Chain A
């Protein structure tokens, strides 16, 4: 029997400390296929195989087993928020969401919401945008949650309930470090068991077989070309400098080689610091702390609010699960047969009771919990409609346009 509202109420109100989910996953290409975990910055001294991955040693069955982090807590949280945003834009759930649309200015960024912004509703991007011509944090909605705290979370619940589930710290708002601070109640992580680092190769064969010495490439003087091999048409330096004189042609990139404009071969090389790993299996563990939700205080309808948050948490987990674990390039994981996500309630004394819930059940559970909210905290807008649609301020929009234009001109794609 799928978990219903009454049962969830009992768990949230009663003795269940948490709801935990575990699943065993394997690479989509089958066990033994290579996958690519997230990379981290690596010290120059540390260039052993797989140095860029977060390896760890676990004790399993009395032995040391090498494992590797495949998706971190923070990354999983982002994915769960993305899944919730998808459900909301598909109009399947009602959720207070604040949006700002940068599509006209930065199409690749598109619409940013309180679910996708790095710091949720407290994010700098929302703070610098406008709601009906007023700066967001000076608007009624923006001011409403400034004083929210775990003792009184109602204001934040009304504008960004996901902040109460995934955590939020309004550290750069009007109250600075004393701003609204909430711990996360939902933690999810995927770890690969028995990981062995591999190698990968990098190379490119140029279909045109352009040689390195074929020509010198210069920056074009006119705007409708980026580069040219004709010195007459090259842009010239305007001043003398230590490595060039006035009226010297400007080389493209450092040395004006064809590779600077993406032509030519790339010598094949073998990469071991980030050459992927093979694993026996991957374990996905997710915990929703009901005890954390119980510590939140509300002025109205505390029980109902906590149940909504619990349902939202479960929905986030199952929604993300249903989208599959396509974590990054060459890292697609699928559940092992009979080992897909299983939920259990963890009691005060450690006893576990298994729970049954799938995505349609979770959507229904959330909608039912939502409907049970008292009027003062209920969200009025229908599914798919935002609580507030912010607009980029003309000043910011112009700056973004200009800076992105400059970036293209410089071909300076700095690592984020």
Chain B
């Protein structure tokens, strides 16, 4: 067992929630703690081998349990805007910059054995910059007779009593118990214990620099209060294998001062006091392992455009792959035609189910099938990385467009603040599911809109049977009841008539689509993607409370 205890020396924890700058983070996220350990690792230029190995071992462990005050028992400070003085008001600025650039250019030329002519030119540039610098220094002695408004404003703003200020927020949490702990009950840290102790001794703060902490490895038994569980309600960022490498690579880019997002993976936690719900026996052929993209700009399509967006996403990846054949698990096609095996689904995610839901597509996901070969997974991730590398703009954003779809800008994220993009929202075990996007039925059930009572009723029964078959295919069990409807059954979802025909290709019969409210006997774990269009965003079902 590995237990690391952290004491908040000032009895306060100041850290901003990763998805809302106006809120404080609580409980402290394990990923943040891991980053603090990595910072401690890099205290010295030559990182200690044993310490590095210890962190590589730690990232392989499962997500830790926590012993920490529950959010109910934690006090918070009302977040107020604080105005802090800036330091970039200046008359002079960095006058040496151009000279430094000229000098380094000269040095570079010397190192690369440049020609005498080039060296002479560079030397002249250095001299010129030196003269310019001397001129700037001399200019400080000169009093201008008619100074510009800008210069006057700078002179006012630079004095300490009138210094310009910038708003910052400092959210603070005040837990009743000043200590908390991260626990790995099944881990055996013995070979790495000493190194971990050394690293912990160097963790001096967690979160803002005013959150000073004491951190050490402890031997006594500590009972956890928060346990990792897919049924839990608390989502914390944790680390996984390869994390140290990711952090090191990211550091090369941001160098410790540019704004950045901590890489992490989300993990659900439940309170240790809640009774653990047993894991559902039935689960979807689709996994909870998603590659998530969040909408960052461009058009704001609603759920009715879901198939267009899904097709655009698939096309983007296929185009990147080039002419080589994609394996069937990615393309859905084997040599002989459509494969019967579950393959990657391209699923745009709409905002539905809440009081204010408007059905807008908040992003999209690549939903991997549960049975997915490691090599295929790697291929997919490489394709995505290639896509990001070659097609993203300066902000790291990708654009999806195609057909009648106006450009839709997305960015890959590990964890999103948007509820609609949280995989667990769609994947949690439930006994009742309601469609967010309509299910495209495999067979035509008949005329659901018929005025003749008998025809419509027969069609409804047929449609219900269809949906039941679809459930059997995807989760392996039949539901106990299915209600079908053409009108939407969730706030934010849209009427089936708003959706373009599916498959919408010439020569292919358009499928009948229905919304459905599906109840199972026992909870089933999602994600539930049903019907003919399930690989393209249709038939996406939201787990809801069973009432």
Contact = CB atoms under 8 A, between A and B. Distances in A.
Interface of A: 17-18, 20, 40-41, 54-60, 62, 64-65, 67, 69, 72-74, 102, 106, 108-109, 112, 116-119, 122-125, 127-128, 130, 133-135, 137-138, 150-151, 167, 171-174, 176-178, 181, 183-185, 187, 189, 285, 287, 289, 291-292, 294-295, 297, 346, 348-350, 393-396, 398-400, 402-404, 406-407, 414, 416
Nearest to B145: A398
B209 A59 contact: no
Nearest to A179: B257
Contacts of B165: 416
The 3 closest A-B pairs by CB, nearest first: A399-B155, A56-B77, A59-B176
Nearest to B155: A399
B144 interface: yes
Given A20-B9, A128-B158, A138 B77 contact: no
A74 to B, nearest CB: 7
Contacts of B497: none
A125 B159 contact: yes
Given A123-B87, A138-B137, 4 more contacts: A109-B161, A171-B87, A174-B96, A416-B165
Nearest to A152: B45
Nearest to A58: B75
B117 to A, nearest CB: 30
B155 A122 contact: no
Contacts of A18: 9, 212, 214
B73 interface: yes
Contacts of A17: 9, 201, 214
A393 to B, nearest CB: 4
A127 B92 contact: yes
Contact of A59 (B151, B158, B174): B174
B279 interface: no
A113 to B, nearest CB: 10
A328 to B, nearest CB: 15
Given A174-B100, A178-B255, A128 B77 contact: no
A177 B158 CA distance: 20
Interface of B: 5, 7, 9-12, 40, 43-45, 69, 73-78, 80-85, 87-92, 94-97, 100, 133, 136-137, 139-144, 147, 151-156, 158-163, 165, 167, 172, 174-176, 179, 201-202, 204-205, 209-210, 212, 214, 216, 218, 255-258
A119 B154 CA distance: 17
A119 B160 CA distance: 10
Given A151-B43, A171-B87, A395-B140, A350 B214 contact: yes
Contacts of B209: 167, 183-184, 187
A348 B139 contact: no
14 contacts: A20-B9, A54-B80, A56-B75, A59-B174, A72-B82, A109-B159, A128-B90, A128-B158, A138-B133, A174-B96, A177-B258, A285-B10, A346-B7, A394-B140
Secondary structure of the A contact surface, majority rule: mixed
Given A18-B9, A117-B160, A285-B10, A151 B44 contact: yes
A287 B315 CA distance: 58
A398 B152 CA distance: 9
A41 B7 CA distance: 32
A183 B91 contact: no
Contact of B139 (A289, A292, A395): A395
A394 B142 contact: yes
B85 A178 contact: no
A97 B248 CA distance: 38
A406 B162 CA distance: 14
Given A55-B78, A135-B95, A287 B163 contact: no
Nearest to B140: A393
Given A124-B90, A287-B212, A118 B80 contact: no
A199 B492 CA distance: 47
Contact of A399 (B82, B87, B91, B94): B91
Contacts of A400: 155-156, 159
Output the residue of A187, A404, A414 with the most chain B CB within 10 A.
A187
A288 B45 CA distance: 26
Given A59-B73, A119-B87, A151-B43, A41 B81 contact: yes
A167 B84 CA distance: 15
A291 B201 contact: yes
A40 B81 contact: yes
A287 B12 CA distance: 12
B214 A172 contact: no
A348 B201 contact: yes
Contacts of A65: 75
Contacts of A349: 216, 218
A69 B88 contact: no
B147 A402 contact: yes
A402 B210 contact: no
Contacts of B175: 59
Contacts of B12: 189
Given A20-B9, A285-B10, A349-B216, A73 B210 contact: yes
A114 B82 CA distance: 23
Nearest to B176: A59
A41 B83 contact: yes
Given A128-B90, A183-B204, A291-B204, A106 B210 contact: no
Contact of A348 (B96, B153, B216): B216
A119 B84 CA distance: 10
A309 B139 CA distance: 39
Contacts of A185: 204
